[in-house]
Structure 1
């Protein structure tokens, strides 16, 4: 039976896409940006109140959801047999992405530009690295469940590739003064990143409930060892 955890990545994707475009709409209506002169970066749309308040809330909720997804993913990959250090590297990159997202929402670029840009780097570049690391380390994992259609992994590879190219293009275009083109690359890269997180709904589709359990220090199990982290809880009548 399908559980409810697959809804978390779907919520994140919908919340983020609708949220940032809502901020864009508010910025245009309130004349905080003038799209007839230059197409704005996402952060420019959320720089002034009242849209800055909405922008902060959208990214804070998104950051908390990203952190929750990354923690669940860590334990799922652990149950699939991924080694500890690669799994920790994946988790750290995901949590840094969440932290960077929160920083972007709470430190506006016109007030704290270095902090804002640091957060943007963590959200975008480290964020896409989160998915590159999974593609890299899961390739040799023989026990990885083949969830979803056969084209799912190639789709993820394609999205990671396009997202990486867009982020590099965004930086190059910005440095060269082509702000509208750079902003367009940023919006497209953000949408791809949201979609990558949303696709994790396929991997979470076989999860119902989860509980975190501590492994014995010795690593030895007195009996048959069940998966250590993501366990389906028994129905209430079993208690």
Structure 2
């Protein structure tokens, strides 16, 4: 009996070993892979949309800034990485899957940090500062869980692999909660916000047009002076 128990204990790691990668491989086989790709693609589109709305809202309130532009770029790069994660499953295209994850997670972390900085720059009331505090806490939690997930992921321990999966899930949920905090600002978005975005995108063209129109009278006056001579 004792030998049977000992042999069973020796088989426990081999029995539970496939479960250690269950979280990362839940979207590798159809039909789960189809839903996994669909969810990641929709998530990428929402990240692009939220990043663009946030970019327009900051321009409307504070004008153009480098931090705002970097935040938009980080969000869109994160969306590209998320698309790779969803459409290249780890069992069939491991390299591309890990490249997408390596792009999506750090840029998502950068997006959270830049948006927290912008929140404090735009803060005018106590509610705005409390929103900044909340986003700072969420950003710190996301950073800690992302670091622990990466550290535990490279370990061979069965327990640490599970801890890495839990940290990854906590990171994803934390990022989703952070995106949910944008409802405070997006409630004030109107058509004027999109007009500001269009004006910002056409600013170089309008500048060229103004410069060309301003140089035209000078050319006419110069030609008229030559004619008088």
Residues 42, 186 of structure 1: 8 Å contact kept: no
Q: CA deviation at 1:82?
A: 4.8
Q: TM-score, normalised by structure 1?
A: 0.69
Larger Rg: 2
Q: Which residue of 1 aligns with 2:182?
A: 200
1:135 equivalent in structure 2: 116
CA–CA separation in structure 2 for the residues paired with 1:147 and 1:123: 33
Give me the TM-score of the superposition, normalised by structure 2.
0.72
Decide whether aligned partners of structure 1 residues 146 and 110 sit closer, same or farther in structure 2, where only a CA change above 3 A counts. farther
Which consecutive residues of structure 1, in runs of 5 or more, have no partner in the other structure?
1-33, 221-239
CA distance in structure 2 between the partners assigned to 1:203 and 1:35 by the alignment: 46
Q: Superposition pairs for residues 211-226 of structure 1, below 5 Å?
A: 211=195, 212-213=198-199, 214-215=202-203, 216-217=206-207
The 3 A distance-change label for structure 1 pair 116 and 36 is closer
2:161 pairs with 1:161 = no
Is the 8 Å Cα contact of residues 42 and 187 (structure 1) preserved in structure 2?
no
After superposition, the Cα gap between the structure-2 partners of 1:146 and 1:120, relative to the gap in structure 1 and judged at 3 Å, is farther
Q: Which has the higher helix share?
A: 2
Q: Secondary structure at the match of 1:68?
A: helix
Give the total of aligned pairs.
185
CA RMSD of aligned residues (A): 2.6
**Does 1:173 find its partner at 2:152?**
yes
1:40, distance to aligned residue in structure 2 (A): 4.3
Alignment partner of 2:70 out of 58, 81, 89: 89
